[in-house]
Structure 1
Amino acid sequence: MSDNKQQPHDEAVENELKGVPEEFLDDGGDDDAEGGLEEALAQLRNDLETSKQETLYAKAETQNVRRRAEKDIADARAYAATGFARDILSVADNLARAIDAVPADLRDDDKFKGLVAGIEATQREIDKVFGQHGISRIAAMGLPLDPNQHQAMMEIPSKDHEPGTVIQEMQAGYMIRDRLLRPAMVAVAKKPD
């Protein structure tokens, strides 16, 4: 009677083991079976550790991509007006030239007073808008030449200034926040011959 009960149980076990690879099956030696199971367990642990590392690397890469995208968006917002600002600088230059071209005696003349006041008001408004958008004029006169902000156009011999000092500004330079929009075109002092 025990043989009858054992036989269906053995068949069920055999049916369940049909899909299991042979290296995991017990071929009669307990040591081999334990060794195979330990190897399989070690391989699974190794695979798990590898998967954990790959997941950590993927998370880190995703975080880096997100940070880069956030920085790109912030830069796009901060510097979106760069092209337009560069183009409008020539308008500001022309307004400054127009004001400088009016002789002092005509500034007090009733006929020209309104014109000069209008040009000066327009220039103030442009400066105000520049300030609102983070555009600022680069200081140049009397400072040492800074190749990151100044473009030396010529050297002028001078006894009154240290060599390398900016003594003339031909065109104003501008920054947009912390980036150079246009360098100041300057003349620098050099030792007289």
Structure 2
Amino acid sequence: MIDETTTPDADDLRDETAAAAPEVAEHDAAARLQAEIEDLKKQILYAQAETQNVRRRMEKDAQDARAYAATSFARDILSVSDNLTRALAAIPPAMREDEGTKPLITGLEMTGKELENVFQRNGITKIESVGAKLDPNRHQAMVELPSDQEPGTIVQEMQAGYMIKDRLLRPALVGVAKAAE
């Protein structure tokens, strides 16, 4: 049996629940949409960060390509520089004083200086080796030589080494002091 005194209260309760249910449903939908918005914002931020990282990486790659584009050519031209240096070192002092060959030797020396200037303008620097400690990242030890220097010190340079900007272009071929026996 249904008590009539409780029926109006039950109806009121039903009406309140029905009236409240759309708010609950709307609140759930709003919360779901808000969560979806937050998720989409995160995805946008991640996508923007990734795009910025890709752009930075591409800029660095392009900068490196410009800076090191001449690496292969520079390695090839080093042998020309070596030969010119050896040729100038092989000229006897008497020949340097001869008026007939003096202009030729002066021209060769000027060519050597211009080659050094071109290297300098393009970020190619000679590695200073003699007297320094052996650095396997810059030097290649070819022989150990008896010396009064501390073991591991470079005492002879057989071939100059070069850097292009901050990268090794060619290691210096060196002779290193060995420990006394």
- Whole-Å Cα distance in 1 between the matches of residues 65 and 19 of structure 2? 68
| Pair 1:124 & 2:99 matched | no
2:101 aligns with 112
TM-score if structure 2 supplies the norm length? 0.86
Match of 1:74 in 2: 63
Partners of 2:180 and 2:40 in 1: CA distance: 72
SS in 2 for 1:29: helix
Report the RMSD for the aligned CA atoms in angstroms: 1.4
Partner letter of residue 163 of structure 2?
Answer: M
Determine whether 1:175 maps to 2:170.
Answer: no
Residue 54 (structure 1) shift = 0.3
- Secondary structure of 1:156's counterpart equals strand
CA–CA distance in 2 between the matches of 1:154 and 1:67? 45
Match of 1:121, SS state, is: helix
* 3-state SS of 1:167 partner: strand
TM superposition shift of 1:35: 2.4
Counterpart of 2:137 (choices 145, 148, 154) is 148
Q: Indicate the SS of the match to 1:153.
A: strand
Detail structure 1 runs of 4+ shifted over 6 Å in the superposition. Answer: none
For normalisation by structure 1, the TM-score amounts to 0.81
Residue ranges of structure 1 left out of the alignment (5+ in a row): 1-27
How many residues are aligned here? 165
User: Which of residues 94, 102, 107 is equivalent to 2:83?
Assistant: 94
Q: Which residue of 2 aligns with 1:165?
A: 153
Code of the residue aligned with 1:85 in structure 2: it is A
Task: Give the deviation of 1:88 after TM superposition.
Answer: 0.4
